[in-house]
Structure 1
Amino acid sequence: MIEACPSYMDVGAIEGVMATIDCQTRVYAQGGYEALTRGSGLFGAALTLLMTIYVALIGWRLLFAPEGARLSEAPGAALRIGVILALVTNWSVFQTLVFDLADRAPVQIAAAASSPWTAAGGGQSLAARPIAGLDLAHDELRRSAVAFGVKAPPNAKGYASADAASAEALSLAADALMVMSVGVVGGAKLAIGVLTAVGPVFIALALLNVTRGVFYGWVRALAGSALSLMVGWALLVLLLVVLGPWLAALAEQREAQALQPRMATSLAALVLVFAVGQGILVAAAWVAALGLRMGLGARTAAAPAAASAPRTEPATSSFPVSRADRLSQALAQEAQRTELRVREFGAAGASVRAGPVPAAGPRPSDTLGGSYRRPVVPRRRGGA
């Protein structure tokens, strides 16, 4: 049963919004998954149809063996079917392998990478509790902006009054801090929730080669959202570490009613620089996610080489050749090669039996006196 999210009215602005987004994302992802896989008969019928087509294509390839299909591919196909069925029929498996990996793992990785800074100061720094620290930083920027506005002359413009310019700069920094936290981190969480809620549709499309590219696109989108969440959270922790001393000094000046426009301007510029850096990191995260290559990329890269390679056997028909035809062709070719080898060996044996071929040129009998032979006179025995 899906639990309802509690109300977060009595906490800070950023903490309440972030807690609401985190809870609603989890509830929406689980509810959408269960409604799609259990409550919708259309998805079940579509999944059954895709399974039938996939099994029929496997049988066709094993029967006619187009493009060199082999029986050894059957275990891989069975494994693919099993993984897809496990992911689209069990929320616990899907939550562990997809939702938690995309929503929980990036925050945990960022927290582990930032642990040396969050543990510094005995847990009293703003980075020790990032959400509460963001609320404190946002509230301090707002209070200081109001204090500068009260100190500035009535209806003063930023270009005419340093206090008015400081108030505008701190107000802009507070808005930028809200966008960096709620906008980037919360937006990434919402994207992950929606993508996981409709995830079974894209996972089912991974069955067929024709629709597998859509599944790869979904994986890249989910990876881009997860990487954006990771780098955005890590940068927020770093921002809180840097802002801690500045905010403490600004609070002391505000309580002492000795606000300095220079410090306010520097603090606002620091927040805006981190906002720009976060935008660059999010863009880099999406570039890394879009560079993800799976089976589709490998086949695409190998396609030009396969197309440019010479064909050893031209196609004689547009119909697929069965295994029996392939076997008969192979046996006929082997018989032709065997007959050719037998002929070559027979010709070589005949030349050896005929003896060596006399060399060209004049023979001894053709020269002058070469044909003369002295007659042999038999010896007579004594007394004969």
Structure 2
Amino acid sequence: MACPAILTGDRFVSRLIEHIDCQSRYLGAYGYDALGQPGSTASLVVTGLLTLFVALFGIRLLFGPTPAARDVVLDVLKIGIVLTLAFSWPAFRTVIHNAVLDAPAEIAGTMGGSLVAPQNAGLTDRLQQADSAMVRLTELGTGRQIGQFVESEDPGSRFGGVAIEDDGGFGYARVVWIAGLIGSLALLRIAAGLLLAFAPLAAALLLFDATRGVFSGWIRCLVLALTGMVAVTIATAVELSVLEPWLADALRLRTLGYAAPSAPTELLAMTLAFALVKLGMIWLMGRIAWQRGWLTLPAMPVIAMRGPGAMRAPAGPSSETQALPSRAERISHSMETTLRRETSTSSSSRTDIRQLAAPASAASTAVSPSSDRLGNSWRRSAYRGSRAASERDRSR
């Protein structure tokens, strides 16, 4: 692919934009073809990963738990997506390649309407016309030596409030203008072409859970490139809508012979502000593309109304406001539960041994409930005396 050469002077901006667009398309198309070509290193890696995925699936069927129908359908879909993204250039070009590189201009044209392309003029032609007007205004200068003003005021007082020199102001303004335009455009277009070239390798990473995050990041970067180009195009169109009438008026004043002392400062301020706007739009689109989950707002505390007729909340602590126990409290509760369990276990074992050693009648008495008073259940019912005591009683 022969991209247009960049020449100094006339049509510098338009040639540079066309060259960057050509290089991004070249990188996306031919890079994909080089990686996805049969026999290349990338194609062998993708084929090996597919073979490994199918082998692991077969081993799971033989020795592991039987996968559900949902898992089987998802695995088949993964294989189809990988084969489509890695080895089918017509499908990849229609679904992803053209959508990333061509859709931003169409979306911006639909959203901006006449703001993006008024009077059937392309955005690139308008950018080149604005750059040529800046060069012409730099050649004419501000008219400091002429001393003729539209308001017919003193030249010294008009030029005294200008903090930037004429040539430096116009030169810095054009540098910021071209750098902000080409920097933002080149960043997004070249990044998009590089990501499109990595499609065969990125698609193979969808197969396994450990590498699925890399595939998700690849998709998010493509979304950032697409939405970022739309945002930069809209911001550039707004900048042109501000610069075009201003440049036309400044050139008209200088052509009629009047001085424009505030032109360098105004032009530098506008170009610098819109360069920062473009960088901010890219950052904002990146935050949108890399946002995870759904935004949730914190629960608002319920404020009780004061007054005789106000409803009062219950006194007990709610589940939301109740503090969780600390680690020391959890350890103490666990130790207390363990001690109680051991105490109950030891007492029950001693009771069981005592019941096993006692006679059957005593065991039945101990087990069966009794209506006697406390302490009467084990009291002797008959008098127990020794033989000597019996003989002594007889001798009396």
> 1:285 Cα shift?
0.9
> 1:101 Cα shift?
1.6
What residue is the counterpart of 1:210 in the other structure? 210
Q: Distance in 1 between matches of 2:117 and 2:217?
A: 39
What residue is the counterpart of 1:348 in the other structure? none
> Number of matched residues?
281
In structure 2, relative to structure 1, the CA distance for the partners of 1:164 and 1:276 (3 Å cut) is closer
What residue is the counterpart of 1:323 in the other structure? none
**Stretch of structure 1 that moved more, 261-270 or 193-202:** 261-270
Are 1:258 and 2:281 an aligned pair?
no
Whether contact under 8 Å (1:141, 1:171) holds in the other structure is no
Q: Distance in 2 between matches of 1:230 and 1:87?
A: 24
TM-score, normalisation: structure 1: 0.66
What residue is the counterpart of 2:138 in the other structure? 145
Whether contact under 8 Å (2:227, 2:285) holds in the other structure is yes
Letter of the aligned partner of 1:198 in structure 2? Answer: F
Q: Any gaps of 5 or more consecutive residues in structure 2?
A: 147-158, 295-396
What residue is the counterpart of 1:173 in the other structure? 173
Whether contact under 8 Å (1:173, 1:272) holds in the other structure is yes
Are 1:113 and 2:111 an aligned pair?
yes
What residue is the counterpart of 2:25 in the other structure? 26
> 1:202 Cα shift?
0.8
In structure 2, relative to structure 1, the CA distance for the partners of 1:260 and 1:252 (3 Å cut) is same
In structure 2, relative to structure 1, the CA distance for the partners of 1:39 and 1:27 (3 Å cut) is farther
What residue is the counterpart of 1:59 in the other structure? 58
Q: Distance in 1 between matches of 2:264 and 2:42?
A: 57
Whether contact under 8 Å (1:185, 1:228) holds in the other structure is no
What residue is the counterpart of 1:43 in the other structure? 42
Within a 5 Å distance, the mapping from 1:356-371 to structure 2 comes to none
What residue is the counterpart of 1:102 in the other structure? 100
User: What are the superposed Cα offsets for residues 106-152 of structure 1, whole Å, 9 maximum, x if unpaired?
Assistant: 221112111132465x44xxxx3211111121222233234327857
Whether contact under 8 Å (1:250, 1:259) holds in the other structure is no
Are 1:14 and 2:7 an aligned pair?
no
User: What are the superposed Cα offsets for residues 49-102 of structure 1, whole Å, 9 maximum, x if unpaired?
Assistant: 211221122233344555x83144222211221121121112221112222121
In structure 2, relative to structure 1, the CA distance for the partners of 1:150 and 1:266 (3 Å cut) is closer
The correspondence for 1:79, drawn from 77, 80, 93, is 77
SS of 1:259 mapped into structure 2: coil
> 1:11 Cα shift?
5.8
Q: Distance in 2 between matches of 1:129 and 1:71?
A: 53
Larger Rg: 2
Whether contact under 8 Å (1:13, 1:135) holds in the other structure is yes
Letter of the aligned partner of 2:16 in structure 1? Answer: V
> 1:186 Cα shift?
2.4
In structure 2, relative to structure 1, the CA distance for the partners of 1:103 and 1:35 (3 Å cut) is same
Whether contact under 8 Å (2:142, 2:263) holds in the other structure is no
User: What are the superposed Cα offsets for residues 188-213 of structure 1, whole Å, 9 maximum, x if unpaired?
Assistant: 10111111112211111111111111
RMSD: 2.8
Q: Distance in 2 between matches of 1:11 and 1:88?
A: 42
Are 1:186 and 2:186 an aligned pair?
yes
In structure 2, relative to structure 1, the CA distance for the partners of 1:83 and 1:35 (3 Å cut) is same
Within a 5 Å distance, the mapping from 1:227-266 to structure 2 comes to 227-266=227-266
Letter of the aligned partner of 2:82 in structure 1? Answer: I
Q: Distance in 1 between matches of 2:80 and 2:97?
A: 19
Letter of the aligned partner of 2:126 in structure 1? Answer: G
Q: Any gaps of 5 or more consecutive residues in structure 1?
A: 154-158, 295-384
In structure 2, relative to structure 1, the CA distance for the partners of 1:37 and 1:116 (3 Å cut) is same
Q: Distance in 2 between matches of 1:293 and 1:59?
A: 34
SS of 2:257 mapped into structure 1: coil
In structure 2, relative to structure 1, the CA distance for the partners of 1:216 and 1:162 (3 Å cut) is same
Q: Distance in 1 between matches of 2:181 and 2:252?
A: 25
In structure 2, relative to structure 1, the CA distance for the partners of 1:262 and 1:25 (3 Å cut) is same
> 1:173 Cα shift?
1.9
SS of 2:209 mapped into structure 1: coil
In structure 2, relative to structure 1, the CA distance for the partners of 1:160 and 1:116 (3 Å cut) is closer
Whether contact under 8 Å (2:4, 2:15) holds in the other structure is no
Letter of the aligned partner of 2:241 in structure 1? Answer: V
Within a 5 Å distance, the mapping from 1:234-383 to structure 2 comes to 234-291=234-291
Within a 5 Å distance, the mapping from 1:113-132 to structure 2 comes to 113-118=111-116, 122-123=119-120, 128-132=121-125
What residue is the counterpart of 1:337 in the other structure? none
> 1:4 Cα shift?
3.1
In structure 2, relative to structure 1, the CA distance for the partners of 1:32 and 1:96 (3 Å cut) is same
In structure 2, relative to structure 1, the CA distance for the partners of 1:197 and 1:260 (3 Å cut) is same
Higher helix content, 1 or 2 = 1
What residue is the counterpart of 1:353 in the other structure? none
Q: Distance in 2 between matches of 1:116 and 1:164?
A: 35
What residue is the counterpart of 2:152 in the other structure? none
SS of 1:180 mapped into structure 2: helix
Whether contact under 8 Å (2:3, 2:19) holds in the other structure is yes
Q: Distance in 2 between matches of 1:278 and 1:204?
A: 34
Q: Distance in 2 between matches of 1:47 and 1:257?
A: 69
Letter of the aligned partner of 2:74 in structure 1? Answer: G
Whether contact under 8 Å (1:148, 1:163) holds in the other structure is no
> 1:252 Cα shift?
0.7
